[in-house]
Chains A and B, each alone.
Chain A
C-alpha cells in the first residue's frame, strides 16, 4: 500500500474541496427499501458526514431477499434501525441515525425536521406523499432525489430549485489565452520575440501561444485592428502561420508551428464570450440580486441571504463591468511543444495576471460579503472565489422543473417525439425510456385510484393489466401525446407492469442507488452537472435515458 488515504481514488475526481463538502453534508433517507439503502451505501462509503434513515416498516422475510442491509436475525425489528446500523458499520467516519416513523406522517407533520438536512433521498414513496414532499423541498430550496424501483424498471428524479455549480468540469476544456486582446504583459513578451534572430533549436521550441500572439498582432496591424473573421481570412491566417515554419536541415517538421496552425482558432476567440450555460449562471445571479434589491422576491432565495457562490458570481460580474466585459483571466495554459524555460515563463505570465485579476475581484467580493453578512470574507469564501475565477467558463446554474409542474403540465408529446425519433428500428421503439416513463405514470394513477399497486396477487393480474392499460391510454391522451406515442405504446406495456406487481428487484434497486448517489454527490460537491431531471432505466432491454417531461 502506497497511500493511507482510503479516499484516494475519489479525490482524484472531486478533490479536497468536494470531499469537504461531502463530509459536511447531512443526508436524509426516507424509505429504507433496497433502492434507498443502496443509495445511502454509496454515500456512506465515500464519506458523507451524517445520515438519518426514516422508515415505518418492520423487517420482513421479504426484505432479506432484496435488501443487503438487513439480516435474517433482524426480522421483526424496525427497518429504520436495522438498516441504519448496518449502513453506519460501512464507514467509521460517518455518523448515522434513524427514526422509526411513517414517511407520510413525517412529511405531513414535521416539515421542520426534514428541512434540517442538506439533501433528501426519497425511495419508494407513494405518489401523494411525494407530491407533498416535493412542494416542501421546493419551498425550502432543499435538493430532492427521488428513487424508484418497479420490476425491471428504475428511475431517478432530481428536483433542484436553485443551485450554483462552480466546477462543471466540462469535457471540452476551455483555455482562456487572450490572444485576441492580449494583456500588456503578454503583449510585451510577444514584442520581445524576434523569430528571425533565433537559432533553429530555439525557433522550433517557441510555444505556439506566442507564435499565435505574434501572428495575430501582425494581422491586426494590417487589418485596422480587426481579427480574422471570414472563412477565407481564417484560412489565410492559418496558412500564414504554417508558412512561418523553417525548413530544418534535419527535415524534421517544426512541431510548434504545426500546433500553432492547428490551434489558430484561438487567435480570434472572443474572451468576453462565455459558454452559454456559464453566461446564464451570471445572468441568474444578477437577476436574483436585482429582485432582492426591489424586495419583490418574497420566497425561496429572496428572504434567505444570498449564497456565497452567488456573491462570487456577482463580484466577477462587477469586475467584468469595470473591464469592458472581460472576465478575470483563468490562468492555466495547456501543455505545448516548447523548451522548459519559455514554457515556464509563459505559464508564470498567465498565472501572475490571473492573480492580479483575482485581487481586483476580491475588492468587489469583500464589499458584497460585508453588505450581505456584515463581516469580512473568510478563508473559505476566498478559496471559493478563487475557484470561480479559475473556472469562469465552467460555472453553471441548475434549476430543474418542480415535481408539481411535472405532474400538471408534462411536455410528454415533445419528449416522446424526440425520444422515439432517434430509434430507427420499430421493434426497439416500445423499449424507449419515455414509454416506460409513461407506464410508471399510469401505475401512479392506478395507485391513487385503487389505493394499491397493480398485479400484487395472481388472481388480479389480468384485470389489473386491463385497468392499467386504460390509465396508460388516458394519461397519454390527456398529455396530448397520443399521436407521438401511438406506434410505440401497446397493451403489452400494461401487462408487463402488472406482471411486475411492484416487485423491488435488488439489481434494479442497485442501478437506481448507483445513479441516485452519483447525482447526490454532484449536488453536494457542487461539481459536474446534475441530471435534468429524470433518468429512466429500462432493465428489460438494458436501455437508459433522460426523460425531461
Chain B
C-alpha cells in the first residue's frame, strides 16, 4: 500500500500520544489496527452542512475517514456561496446535506457520505448511539444544547457517577464562528465540561428597549425594529418570513418612512436584513480554521495518535492573531452533565406558573418546561388534553400542589425527552419570595 501522509501519524510511535496529554483519552497503539479502525470501522456524524459543515466533511474525507453521515435541515441560499464551497449557484434551493454529500462522494470516492435532511431533534437515541464521534458546526445555541444533552444522556452513569458503558461515551467536537473569530472545543461526556456548562458565555441576542424604539428612535436600527415589532403585527396576520424578499422589502420601506420622519439616516436594505435576521458576518477563512481544528481533534481522538485539545480553543483574527487554549471547567450544578439536584427556595405562596416562568430565565434558560413529581403531574405541555387538564395548576400556590422539600422532575424541549432535571422545592420560613 502506498504510504500516505496520515500513515506517518498512524503507524509510527510517538512521545506525544494521547496518554501523554493533559486530557488523556487512551493509549496510542501505532499500527495497522489503528489505521483499520479509523478508515473501516469508525463512524462519524457531522451535524450541520453549512459554513463549518462543508469544511468538516472535506477535512474528514481527506483525513482517512470513510464512514460519514451528515444531518442538516436547511436548503441552500445565495448568501451561502461565499464560503459553503460544496454548493454552486445551480444548487440554490436544494437541501444542504444532500448536495454536500454528493459533492464529497464525487470528489473523494473512497469516502462514503450519507445525508439526512432534517432537524437534529428529529433523530432518536438509537440514531446517535451508532456513532463513534460527533462533529458539530451549528449556527444556533438551541440545537447545540439539545445535541449535547443527547450525547451526555447516552453516557449513562450509575449511582456513584461512573459511566456504565464506556462505549457509549461519544465525544462531541464543536465549532463556532463569528466574523474573524471562532472557537473549537472538545466535549467528552461526563469527563469534561459540556455545552450546557458554558451556556452563560453566550450573550443574548442584541435587542433595543421598546420605549426607545417607540418614542425616541435615534438609530436606523431603532426604525427597523419598529417596523418589525410594532408595524408588522398591526398590518399582517402572519409572521414575517425573513427569507421572503417581499416581506423584507416591506419592512425596509416602513423603516425608511419612519427614519425620514425622524430625520434619521442610514436605513438600508442590507441593514434591515442584518437587524431583522440577526445576521452574523461569516467568511471562508474563519470557517476553514475552526473546522480544521475540529477535525484534527476528531482524528486524534479516534486514532489516539496525539494529544487532545483540553478543552477549548479560541481564535481571534481581527487585530493580529490572538489565540488561547484553556480547560473549560465543569459546572458543578450543570443541569445536563451533573446529577445534582437543584434546590429552589421560595415562598409557599409562589404559584406554579411563577416557578415555570423562573425556569425560562437565567441560569437555566429553558424553553417550555413541563413539571411532575413522582406521583403527580403538575403541568405538562403535551398532549393537548393533559395541558388543558393541568393548566389550572399554574395559578395555584406551590404549597397546594407539593409538600415542602418535594422533588420535581422538569423536562423541556431544549433537551431530548429522557433528559430531565430535578428540583427540590424548599418553602422559605419567613415567606420571602
The chain A residues found within 8 Å of chain B, CB to CB, are 1-13, 34, 38, 41-42, 45-47, 61-62, 64-68, 71-72, 90-92, 151-152, 168-171, 205, 335-336, 338-340, 343-344, 425, 427-428, 431, 455, 458, 461, 492, 495-496, 499-501, 503-511, 513-515, 517-519, 521-522, 528-532, 535, 539-546
Contacts and interface: CB of A to CB of B under 8 A. Distances in A.
B6 A503 contact: yes
* Pairs A-B, 6 closest by C-beta atoms: A542-B309, A514-B288, A514-B289, A510-B292, A506-B62, A518-B285
B262 interface: yes
B16 A540 contact: yes
B43 interface: no
A185 B151 CA distance: 63
Interface in B71-85: 77-83, 85
B409 interface: no
A90 B84 CA distance: 10
B292 to A, nearest CB: 4
Nearest to A34: B62
Contacts of B5: 62, 65-66, 503-506
A3 B282 CA distance: 15
B99 to A, nearest CB: 14
B331 to A, nearest CB: 22
Contact of B318 (A5, A47, A62, A171): A171
Given A8-B270, A62-B4, A492-B16, A546 B288 contact: no
Contact of B12 (A62, A91, A499): A499
A496 B15 contact: yes
A522 B282 CA distance: 15
5 contacts: A71-B107, A500-B8, A507-B62, A508-B296, A517-B288
A72 B107 CA distance: 8
B4 A65 contact: yes
Interface string B293-323: 1011101100000111110010101111111
Interface stretch (B216-224, B230-238, B342-350, B399-407): B216-224
Interface in B221-247: 242-245, 247
B283 interface: yes
Contacts of B322: 546
B9 A68 contact: no
Nearest to B244: A2
Contacts of B286: 514, 518
Nearest to B246: A2
Contact of B216 (A5, A61, A91, A339): A339
Interface of B: 2, 4-6, 8-9, 12-16, 21-22, 55, 58-59, 62-63, 77-83, 85, 89, 92, 107-109, 179-180, 184, 186, 215-219, 242-245, 247-248, 262-264, 270, 273-274, 277, 279-293, 295-297, 299-300, 306-310, 313, 315, 317-323, 325
Nearest to B287: A514
* Interface hub of A171, A508, A510 (most chain B Cβ within 10 A): A510
Contact of A10 (B264, B281, B293): B281
B320 A546 contact: yes
Contacts of B13: 499
Contacts of A508: 292, 296
Nearest to A534: B321
B79 A6 contact: yes
Given A6-B81, A66-B5, A541 B307 contact: yes
Nearest to B77: A1
B296 A517 contact: no
A442 B58 CA distance: 32
Contacts of B308: 542
Nearest to B251: A2
A9 B282 contact: yes
A61 B2 contact: yes
B79 A5 contact: yes
Given A7-B82, A514-B286, A495 B14 contact: yes
A507 B295 contact: yes
Contacts of A38: 288
Given A9-B83, A47-B82, A528-B319, A506 B16 contact: no
Contact of B285 (A11, A91, A517): A517
B307 A507 contact: no
A171 B180 CA distance: 12
A544 B284 contact: no
B177 to A, nearest CB: 10
Given A66-B62, A507-B299, A510-B58, 8 more contacts: A2-B248, A8-B273, A13-B179, A45-B85, A336-B218, A344-B218, A510-B292, A511-B293
A72 B109 contact: yes
Given A45-B284, A514-B288, A542 B184 contact: yes
B92 A343 contact: no
A66 B58 CA distance: 10
A507 to B, nearest CB: 4
Contact of B180 (A47, A152, A500, A528): A528
